[in-house]
Chain A
Amino acid sequence: MIVEIGHFALVLALAAALAQTVVPFWGARVGDLGMMDVGRNAALIQLALIAIAFAALVNAHLTSDFSVLNVAENSNVAMPAIYKISGVWGNHEGSMLLWVFILAIFGALVALFGRALPRKLRADALAVQGLISVAFLAFILLTSNPFERLSPAPFEGRDLNPILQDPGLAIHPPLLYLGYVGFSIVYSFAAAALIEGRIDAAWARFVRPFTLVAWSFLTLGIAAGSFWAYYTLGWGGFWFWDPVENASLMPWLAGTAFVHSVAVMEKRDALKIWTIFLAILAFSFSLLGTFLVRSGVLTSVHAFANDPRRGVFILAILAMFICGSFALFAWRAPMLKQGGLFAPVSREGALVVNNLLLTTACATVLFGTLYPLALEQLTGEKITVGAPFFNLTCGALLLTACFAAPFGFSLAWKRGDLLGVVQRLAFAIIVGAVTAVVAVAWLSGGPIFAPLAMGLGVFVIIGTVIEVVMRSWRPGLTAGVALKRTFGLPLSFFGAALAHLGLGVTLLGLSGLGFGAETIATLHKGVPAIVGPYAVTLDSVGERVGPNYKESIASVTVRSGDTVVAQIEPARRQFAAREMSTTQAGLKTLHFGQIYVSIADPAADGSVPARLYWKPLVTLIWLGGAAMALGGGLSLADRRLRFGVATRAKAGASALAQPAQ
């Protein structure tokens, strides 16, 4: 019964979304305030209905109601409760429901906090947001119904794919979707601004918090996904340039460009058309990502289903929203008034360079991802474009962008003094260059990437710190005054500084790749195997029984010289329901580096085939990502940027004045 209520709520949500699309849009055209306000209520009702549907599905999974096809195929009585819940989005239908749920949350946020906005803009934005909901709700109801019943109901479910039974999977998709779908708001507002034919700094001020939320979550989601791949796939890689990973990287690159250009628009009223273009681009890439992952064109752990109808449906949605918005852009963008002149050497100029590099990097990723698909359709030839391609193109462009980051961060708005900035950053430049040279000598003949990334990382970190210090302290100022000045700086400045620091930290983490060690060995009891500076010895092999699996555990001791530095227990898990086994890598963090041991099934004589890695600085890759996301959050907390704080009083006054008009 609850399941049917969920299904019914989803159908009603489609009706609410239709109302949210048609009525406020029509109201905005004819100038009917009442009709425009329907959008607000429809968005809230839609959220409530989708929340009911989502809760119904979670309930079905938690109670292991195997009469629901989705539960029977992806759950199991013996699974721990947390995986029963994460199993809701560990499959195609459920993950699409999560997608629209988050879409509805963002729509409702606009409805709740958009009071300070011009009424027409809000009505149009909610209408576009509603249209996205209509498309995806129709997709779910017509091709991917999560509430489909199964008769007769089986006694036991087929279990969730064991490699998805992991805390990483519990958080990775929701984080990623908050990012992907968060850009829908930006898109809706861009479309609304184009429909209106008018855009100003207030638009940027309202859109920026949403951008920061989406960007921060996307950053976290990508970092979580990369960490998950690192420890579950058993070979220590954290980024494979897999099409599915690229699908999440592209909106991130476009979104990062947007975060920077929207700052220019907000502060200097410049780059309007470009910012609108990026807003459309970021969400278009989110949609493209959804298509690549969900349609079955790619085969990967993310592609759950291969129903061709779904692929065609998502392709139609993709074509409608991308072509529609770019047509609107081509038609209306020339009407937008440009403002805010700036010299090429200025903060704005540097942000233009940043945008150029990021969007070009994004284009190379797009090319490398779609080229094999296009080639196969056209010639039948099957190829893969491997990591070397992406490293050389996207990697080189992004490293250039990293090099430019501290310069841009230190330049003044409107007209900057490049020579002065170079002098200020001289210390950082020198230390960075020396680090790179020392690293080259150390590695002697290894790939140039590692020393370059290390030098750049050091440069970005020191350069950012210098700028933060220079903002609050000059020679001659007392500590008290400097402290006061520090507290006077806006939070968004610290947010940007933290994000740039995170970038430097990630670069340092990546540079560790060049200094690591890998050993493939068969471990025998008591015989040490050497990996980098450490010796790994097998102590014992045991068995353990978990809730829905059995595991073989190898206990190993890691020594540096004669001192024991760690005891770790890599394992192999056998899941009965799907006759599958997974690798649980044994990890030990030492000074930001990790010792990584993954094993195969123990042999009959008690020896264990294993892969051993020493990965110096590797944790910095994800810590840097977390710092970037935290920087986004810090900017969000800036009072000036909170939704309409400055304008709310005025809006209240005008709302009072309105009836009299």
Chain B
Amino acid sequence: MTRRGRRLALIAAALAVVGAAAGLSLYALSDSIVFFYSPSEVAQKAVAPGARLRIGGLVKTGSLVKSADQNVAFVLTDGAHDLKVAYQGLLPDLFREGQGVVAEGVLAAPGQMQAETILAKHDERYMPREVVDALKKQGRWQEGTTATQ
């Protein structure tokens, strides 16, 4: 094989791999992106049921209901709007009423979510950034304090 042929083979191989990766990326991107909304945005955008979402807000005080087989239900709020969340499984170590959490799952019906993952903060100084931003939007965040209802 000539020097030129070798170089062409190399370039062809590189293009094939990069092309395959780009194609895969675009394909994968179209169905594995999950949008983050606050309960208000869910209400305003009238998100259709069946959509995969991440929703951040505060767990409404007094809304947590635990039933058999580790089924839990609670209400996520950003002050303006509420969203009911159903979940089965162990809640994270730092899940508490009045605290910020992020729920990821599928919108079962308007205003109702079947969550597959619940994320809470890692320590008491930390609040999920998305929740802070969502609360700031609603004017309910005071710098330096833990927001409570």
| A residues in contact (CB < 8 Å) with B | 161, 163, 234-235, 299-301, 341, 343-344, 352-353, 356-357, 360-361, 363-364, 367-368, 371, 381-389, 392-393, 396-397, 520-522, 578-583, 598-600, 609-611
Q: How far is the CB of B32 from chain A (nearest CB, A)?
A: 4
Q: Is B46 an interface residue (CB 8 A)?
A: no
CB-based nearest B residue for A163? B122
Asked whether B124 lies within 8 Å of A389 as measured between CB atoms, the reply is: no
Q: Which of the candidate stretches B7-15, B57-65, B78-86, B105-113 sits at the interface with the other chain?
A: B7-15
User: Do residues A384 and B54 form an inter-chain contact, with CB atoms below 8 A?
Assistant: yes
Asked whether, in the complex, the Cβ of B32 is within 8 Å of the Cβ of A385, the reply is yes
Which B residue sits closest to A599, measured CB to CB?
B90
Count chain A CB atoms within 10 A of each CB in B1, B88, B93, B122 and give the residue with the most.
B93
Indicate whether B129 reaches chain A with its CB closer than 8 angstroms. yes
Query: How many interface contacts (CB-CB < 8 Å) are there between A and B?
Result: 111
Cα(A235)–Cα(B93), bound, Å:
11
Query: When the two chains form the complex, which single residue of B10, B54, B93 contacts A582, counting CB atoms closer than 8 Å?
Result: B93
Shortest distance between the CB of A257 and any CB in chain B (Å): 13
Does B69 lie within 8 Å of A522, measured CB to CB? yes
Q: How far is the CB of A365 from chain B (nearest CB, A)?
A: 10
- The reply to whether A381 and B90 contact each other, CB–CB distance below 8 Å, is no
Contact among B1, B25, B36, B123 with A367 in the assembled complex (CB-CB below 8 Å):
B25
Contact across chains for B35 and A382 when beta carbons are under 8 A apart? yes
Closest beta carbon of chain B to A597's beta carbon, Å: 11
A497 to B71, CA, bound (A): 49
Cβ distance A337 to chain B, nearest Cβ, rounded Å: 15
The interface residues of chain B lying within 8 Å CB-to-CB of A299 are 126, 128-129
Contacting residues of chain B (14-44) with chain A, CB-CB under 8 angstroms: 14, 17-18, 20-21, 24-25, 27-29, 31-37
Q: Does B91 contact A (CB under 8 A)?
A: yes
Chain B interface residues (CB < 8 Å from chain A): 1, 3, 6, 9-10, 13-14, 17-18, 20-21, 24-25, 27-29, 31-37, 54, 68-70, 88-91, 93-94, 122-124, 126, 128-130, 133
Query: Which of A161, A234, A383 has a CB less than 8 Å from the CB of B123?
Result: A161
Chain B residues with Cβ under 8 A from A234's Cβ?
Answer: 90, 93
- In the complex, residue of chain B having the shortest beta-carbon distance to the beta carbon of A574: B93
Question: Sorted from nearest, which 3 A-B pairs have the closest CB atoms?
Answer: A382-B36, A388-B32, A392-B28
Closest to A160 in B: B123
Least CB distance, A201 to chain B, in whole angstroms: 21
Q: Are A609 and B70 closer than 8 Å at their CB atoms?
A: yes
For B123, list chain A residues within 8 Å (CB).
161, 163, 578, 580
Q: A163-B123, A299-B126, A393-B21 are in contact. List 13 more A-B contacts (CB 8 A).
A: A161-B122, A161-B123, A343-B1, A344-B6, A352-B10, A382-B54, A382-B133, A396-B24, A520-B89, A521-B70, A522-B70, A578-B124, A611-B89
- Chain B residues, CB < 8 A from A341: 3, 6
CB-CB < 8 A to A356: which residues of B?
13-14, 17
Give the complex CA separation of A361 and B9 in angstroms: 21
Specify the chain B residue showing the minimal Cβ separation from A302: B122
Nearest CB in chain A to that of B24: its residue: A393
Please measure, in the bound complex, the distance between the C-alpha atom of A388 and the C-alpha atom of B33, giving whole angstroms.
Answer: 9
| B88 contacts A520, C-beta separation under 8 Å | yes
B32 to chain A: which residues have CB within 8 Å?
Answer: 385-389, 392
Most buried by B among A343, A382, A611: A382
A580 touches B93 (CB 8 A): yes
**Which of B21, B36, B89, B128 has its CB near the most chain A CB atoms (within 10 A)?**
B21
Q: A353 touching B122 by the CB < 8 A rule?
A: no
Known: A343-B1, A583-B93. A360 touches B29 (CB 8 A): no
